[in-house]
Structure 1
Amino acid sequence: MARELDNSLLNQHKEKHFTAGEIVRDIIIGVSDGLTVPFALAAGLSGANASSTVILTAGVAEVAAGAISMGLGGYLAAKSEADHYKRELKREQEEIITVPDTEAAEVAEILSEYGIQPHEYTPVVNALRKNPKAWLDFMMKFELGLEKPDPKRALQSALTIAIAYIVGGLVPLLPYMFIRTATKAVVASIVLTLLALLIFGYAKGHFTGNKPFRSAFQTALIGAIASAAAFGMAKAVQG
């Protein structure tokens, strides 16, 4: 009866949690770099009085190289995370077999940190000892703080970051596709990119739980500083 009541309450109370954190993180990494790096490159070349054709060619090459590099970095990071999980999982499996009393003591210590008394956690420890799989899952999550990674995570991360980088990187280059005069194209690129940075920063703040307007301002400010620095350095070298 109590279990039926608990299930009824759980069915009535459906919590809505944001579960796409890793994908959003990859998109943020890709778009933020995609908007900023080609933007700074285009501004720098404009400062060096390069033509729109040259700037566009260099920008597209940078976007392609950057997407490959960022995607590969995302793949290797996710792969390393998965490999680390496998190593720790194997180590915990061996310790549960070879030193079960020590592992049981660790379970007790973890539960005691939550304010659970010995007479309350002892049945839990004994129950886990009878269920090695549940015991192993408990140790991975609560002792090591590790969640089992998605086996498709590495490839997904690589593709997400690469595509996001391309999407972001094309924004500051769009004006150079239609405006032949670089001095005019750079102005349009600045306006378009800063607008994109503001929108992206706002969305990033919304999804990450930060203040959207502050996030929008900070993101646009970083992009503006990067492009201004590149433009100024190009002018200084040329002069």
Structure 2
Amino acid sequence: MTNHQASPTEPPNQHSGEPHRGGLAQRLNWLRAGVLGANDGIISVAAIVVGVAGATSSSTQILTAGVAGLVGGAVSMSLGEYVSVSSQRDSENALIAKERLELEADPDAELAELTGLYEAQGLTPDTARRVAEEMTAHDVLAAHLATELHIEQGDGVSPWHAAFASGVSFTVGAVLPMAAILLPTVSTRVPITFAVVLVALALTGALSAYIGGSSRWRAATRIVVGGALALTATFLIGALLGARVSG
């Protein structure tokens, strides 16, 4: 069996593919915002255009509804990500400032607290004390933030990056169902849109699961079933309302 050799950028005795390197929160946030944005763009705009297509065959009305859903959804996703990530970062900054003041005011008490936390993780008192002292000597603030608050300095998430990734991915996802509903003939546009959207959802679900290391089949099945239900519901509602209006 060939032993794993650490790469120049990978610390010794670590396995490739495991999230040991820095910047993990940043990369995961980009992934989360991007995948959620694309999925929302596909599902929400597809549901809108399929619902309108159930009520009318007018391509102009379908396009208008789709564009409105695309713009409104992209703005909403971007703002939501920006507000969410900004609030999280503000909370983390406040906790960091508080911890820094506590370390300056009473470092001995903070060292004892850190020792107690290591003991709670299963270390003996002597070992816990020694680990706490060595971690404190290396970077006292980072040691306390990581152990007490589970915060990694420098691994923060940019709200602008999250907002941009979410808005762009939503737009890209939304373009797909709009093209699928507008390009085919009137008689085939709805079934083609169903097929294109469900395949796209299966791919994005499987991709996100693959990157996250979870079951691709389970993730794809969940999102395809949910997407199919959403499209069916909106199409039936659109057909019902269209029949009433025309009647």
Identity of aligned residues (%): 26
Cα offset, 1:236, TM superposition: 3.3
Cα offset, 1:187, TM superposition: 1.9
Q: Please state if 1:158 is matched with 2:158.
A: no
**Aligned residue number for residue 127 of structure 2:** 120
For residue 44 of structure 2, the aligned residue among 28, 37, 40 is 37
Q: Name the SS of the counterpart of 1:171 in structure 2.
A: helix
**Aligned residue number for residue 190 of structure 1:** 194
Deviations 1:185-214 (A, max 9, x none): 222211111111111122122112221122
CA–CA separation in structure 1 for the residues paired with 2:14 and 2:194:
48
CA–CA separation in structure 2 for the residues paired with 1:104 and 1:12:
29
Q: Please state if 1:207 is matched with 2:211.
A: yes
Q: Across the two proteins, how many residue pairs are aligned to each other? A: 229
Paired residue type of 2:221:
F
Q: Please state if 1:17 is matched with 2:22.
A: no
Cα offset, 1:152, TM superposition: 6.6
After TM superposition, the score normalised by the length of structure 1 is 0.86
Cα distance change of structure 1 residues 85 and 34 upon mapping to structure 2, 3 Å threshold: same
RMSD, aligned CA: 2.4
Cα distance change of structure 1 residues 53 and 176 upon mapping to structure 2, 3 Å threshold: farther
Q: Which runs of 5+ in 1 are unaligned?
A: 1-7
Q: Please state if 1:27 is matched with 2:34.
A: yes
Deviations 1:140-184 (A, max 9, x none): 111111223556721111111111101111111103332352x43
> Quick check: 2:145–2:151 contact (8 Å CA) kept in 1?
yes
**Aligned residue number for residue 175 of structure 1:** 180
Cα distance change of structure 1 residues 13 and 204 upon mapping to structure 2, 3 Å threshold: closer
Cα distance change of structure 1 residues 162 and 84 upon mapping to structure 2, 3 Å threshold: same
For residue 139 of structure 2, the aligned residue among 134, 137, 149 is 134
Paired residue type of 1:209:
G
Q: Name the SS of the counterpart of 2:177 in structure 1.
A: coil
**Aligned residue number for residue 75 of structure 1:** 82
Cα distance change of structure 1 residues 187 and 180 upon mapping to structure 2, 3 Å threshold: same
For residue 102 of structure 2, the aligned residue among 95, 99, 109 is 95
**Aligned residue number for residue 4 of structure 1:** none
After TM superposition, the score normalised by the length of structure 2 is 0.83
* Bigger mean CA deviation after superposition, 219-228 or 196-205: 196-205
Q: Name the SS of the counterpart of 1:142 in structure 2.
A: helix
Cα distance change of structure 1 residues 73 and 13 upon mapping to structure 2, 3 Å threshold: closer
Q: Please state if 1:230 is matched with 2:234.
A: yes
Q: Which runs of 5+ in 2 are unaligned?
A: 1-7
